Amino acid sequence: MLESILSVLILGAMMSAIYALVAIGFTMIFGVGGVLNLAHGGLIMIGAYAFLVATSSSVVGAIAVPTVLGLVIATLVTAVASYVLYGGLVRYIEDNVVITFLSTVMVALLLTELIHHEFGSSPRTLLPIADGTLHLQGVGTRINYMYILGFVVSWIAIGLLWYYVSRTDEGRSILAVSMSERGAQLTGVDLESVKSRTWLIAGALAGLAGVFLGTLQTTSPEMWLNPLAIAFIIVVIGGIGSIKGSVVAAYLIGYLEQFTLEFLGTGYQGIFSLVVLVAVLLLKPEGLFGREFAHE
């Protein structure tokens, strides 16, 4: 019993870190532009498939780069895709919230069908960046090295993001726009460039998340839905627009999922987090750290 609790604690920490990666990009885009980006799951999928194409010699051509380079490529490709999504579509329609999020749904579905067509519907396996497992004697559990790597990469990314947003002028302008768009504009912040940068960063984080999720779970044309649902849940619980809230909520949900998995089996996975979500929505609709920045 004690052992399984320990293993839940460790595995939960690893999984939660990856969930945080999934959610932060989503929440940043919402905080800055008020855009609900339902194509976020699609971006994660792009990350996973970009990694697949780059590292596997059997998919497209014979090029196969080392997996670490593949991670970099996947991140860059997803960041660019996200930037293009903003510059090529969302920028022109963001005045209407409903049209915007319906359009991003259509983009996500379009991506799903194209990937389905290109790579087939069956799940693909990604080459692990770090192979093997770590055996924890005291706990009696094995941890995939990918989990540990995901944990480390996630916290590095969160640390860099924190530094960028709170210590540099460019980053602080992002924060300023999410507090008050008009106020930021009056102080000379270039709204377009702030939004483009936000989408670029969100895309990069989604790409990272995509590689880890794709390796540890599945890489298939249906993989966009679950991360999107997780991002939803985490962001609502943490408070829409709040980075700190997303990280805290990611850990809450990560642990909850790990506990259900360990003690109730796979059948109920995901149901409890949804119940927690409903409870938070009803009792504290602004989320745990909602509107950490004033925003109206």
Partner 1 sequence: MSSETDTGRSISGRVSGAAGRFGGAAVDGLSTVTEPVDRALRPIANVYNRTLGGYFGEMNGLQLVLLVGSFLGLVTIPFWGNYTLVQATWLACIWGIFAMSWDIQSGYTGYISFGHSVLSGGAAYTTAMLLNNVNAELPMRITIPISVLVALIIGLAIALPSLRLSGPYFSLITFVAVLIFYRLIRPLSEYTGGETGLGGIETVFSTDPVMRTYAFMIPMLLIAAALLIVARSNIGLILVAIRENESAVEAAGINATKFKIWSFVLSSIPMGIGGVLLAHRFGTVTPGAFVVVDNSIEMIAMAVVGGMGSILGPLGGAFLVIMLEDVVLSGFESEIKWSILWLIVLLILVFARDGLFRKLWHGLDRLGGDRR
Give the residues lining the site for partner 1 (CB under 8 A).
30, 34, 36, 89, 91-99, 101-103, 105-107, 109-110, 113-114, 116-117, 180-182, 191-192, 225, 229, 232-233, 236, 240, 267-271, 274-275, 277-278, 281-282, 285, 295-296
- Residue owning tokens 């498939």: 49
Residue number, 216 or 229, with CB nearest to partner 1:
229
In angstroms, what is the minimal distance from the CB of 289 to partner 1? 15
DSSP 250-269: HHHHHHHHHHHHHHH-GGGT
| Residues 153-169 as b or e (16 or more Cβ within 10 Å = b) | bbeebbeebeebbeeee
Radius of gyration (C-alpha) of the chain in whole angstroms? 19
How near is the Cβ of 208 to partner 1 at its closest, in Å? 24
Phi, psi of 140 (to 5 degrees): 75, 35
| Least Å from the CB of residue 39 to partner 1 | 11
Specify the residue, 91 or 172, whose C-beta has the smaller distance to partner 1: 91
Residue 14 or 236 having the CB closest to partner 1: 236
Nearest Cα to Cα of residue 162 among 81, 247, 232:
247
Which of 142/284 has CB closer to partner 1?
284
Q: Which CB, 150 or 245, lies closer to partner 1?
A: 245
CB of 131 vs partner 1, minimal distance in Å: 32
Strands (E) in 36-159, as ranges, are: 133-136, 141-144
